[in-house]
Amino acid sequence: MAKRRPVIGIPADRRMLGEHPFHAVGEKYIRAVVDAAGALPLLVPALGADIDTDELLASVDGILFTGSPSNVEPRHYSGPASAPGTAHDAARDATTLPLIPLAVGQGVPVLGLCRGFQEMNVAFGGTLWQRVQEQEGYMDHREDKTQPLEVQYAPAHEVELVAGGVLRSLADSDRIQVNSLHSQGVQQLAPGLAIEARAPDGLIEGFRVERAPRFALAVQWHPEWQVMGNSFSRALFAAFGAASAGRAQRRQR
């Protein structure tokens, strides 16, 4: 019998297309799960409490929390009101924030990217800067949206990988170049999270859940972008895929 690929759930954004709500996941995340993690993607609608989380977690071998144009609503971390025009996605917040600690606690491997990184920090009790570029001592981590995608997602700065961390174990050195497309960032790291990477200005760019029984890691950048052309990004998704495959094997016994 052929070996079953692990199933990785990908929670969707809820977006209005015309007058109708759609549940959407960027193709770059789906391709990274298929090509670099070697897994079968399962798109999870942003239905909040209408999703049976126990049933969902029994059906997947890993969960990828993706980036998004929207920001986590500040009420979830007692932050100040968002600037006018800030994109939010209440349905996604209602789906992902309760799901994250349940998934980690049940040993489901998780990987958070950009918004997913911020969601994981908030889900465990951390807080966010909403506009990092306005905080003294921090650089501007946003992309130039007037440029082509290849420029927006090009390497923007280096991050230093913490010795002894998961990310450091995947890299050939203690520094890698990453892209940068965000205005939110970690203000206070949640209890139980350990720093994995920092930007040159000290901003936290990666963390893991210290006591997680399985892979539970998040990064602020976008390793899914052209993942197969970047050796570190491939290694990160491969590690996530391997952890998910391990869960799949255990569930088959």
User: Which CA distances in Å does 102 have to 57, 97, 226?
Assistant: 8, 9, 30
> 11 with 95: CB under 8 angstroms?
yes
Cα separation of 27 and 68, whole Å? 12
Question: How far is CA 124 from its chain centroid?
Answer: 14
**Residue 224 designated active-site:** yes
Choice among 73, 196, 205, 224 that is catalytic: 224
User: 195 burial class (0-12, 13-18, 19+ CB within 10 angstroms)?
Assistant: middle
Q: 104 CB contacts (<8 Å, ≥6 apart)?
A: 110, 209, 212, 216
Gap between the Cα atoms of 39 and 243, Å rounded: 11
Question: CA–CA separation, 200 vs 127, rounded Å?
Answer: 20
Which amino acid makes up residue 161? L
Name the 3-class secondary structure at 56. Answer: helix
In this structure, the strands spanning 193-198 and 157-161 are antiparallel
Beta-carbon contacts of 176 under 8 Å, excluding residues fewer than 6 positions away, are: 158, 159, 161, 232
Q: Assess whether 150 carries a catalytic annotation.
A: no
Q: Which among 73, 114, 143, 160 is annotated as catalytic?
A: 114
Based on the residue annotation, tell me whether 73 is a catalytic residue of this protein: no
Query: Which listed residue (73, 143, 196, 222) is catalytic?
Result: 222
Neighbour-count burial for 234-248, b at 16+ CB within 10 Å, e otherwise: bbbbebbbbbbbbbb
Catalytic positions: 114, 222, 224
